[in-house]
Structure 1
Amino acid sequence: MRALLYEAACVVLRRCTRPCPLREWGQALSERLGSKRAIIAVARKLAVILHHVWRDGTSFQWSIPAMIA
């Protein structure tokens, strides 16, 4: 599961062209801390988002800032 979250975070930060608050947050973090730490942080945020989606039964919405603080 960790490897899949890491891969998903890489895709969000590197390949995804769609504007997303998670991607913007990760890129700002990458400039500050480095790309490897930013990928790990985005992977953790994705895990938290997935947990909330599974628990609530909601769907992910790209345009809404998803617990980014």
Structure 2
Amino acid sequence: MELPVYKPADNRDAKLGNFNLPILGIFDLPLTLFEAASSVIHQVKRFSRLKSWAARLAGRRGFRKAAVATARKIAVLMLTLWKNGSDYQWTKEATA
């Protein structure tokens, strides 16, 4: 199955070039990150600095704000790991 792609319809989009961005991936990403953050806060049993930070933030500011902040942190973390080509370390001891 081929995903729908973005193609410029007129000249105002021509400066963007023809990147053929998958439409489904662009619009589903924020929801997917929010769901991942929600599960980190509520369902993940394994300790990590991310879970600890998110749980403390949820206690101070409320669940929704904590989930949005955690989703942003997950996005930044994923981008950094992707650029470096490294794996996520659950604890500090795992980096040794």
Match of 1:7 in 2: 35
What is the aligned partner in structure 2 of residue 47 from structure 1?
A: 75
Q: Separation in 1 of the partners of 2:48 and 2:70?
A: 12
Aligned to 1:27: 55
Q: TM-score by structure 1 length?
A: 0.89
Q: Which amino acid aligns with 1:27?
A: A
Larger Rg: 2
RMSD, aligned CA: 0.7
Instruction: Give how far 1:16 is off.
Output: 0.2
Corresponding residue for 2:85?
57
Structure 1 residue 23: Cα displacement: 0.6
Higher relative contact order (CA closer than 8 Å, sequence separation 6+): 1
Give the unaligned 5+ runs of structure 1: 65-69
Percent same amino acid at aligned positions?
A: 34
Q: For the residues of structure 2 that align with 1:8 and 1:62, how far apart are their CA atoms?
A: 16
Deviation string 1:29-49 (CA, Å, 9 cap, x unpaired) is 011100000000100000000
| Count of aligned pairs | 64
CA–CA distance in 1 between the matches of 2:59 and 2:83? 33
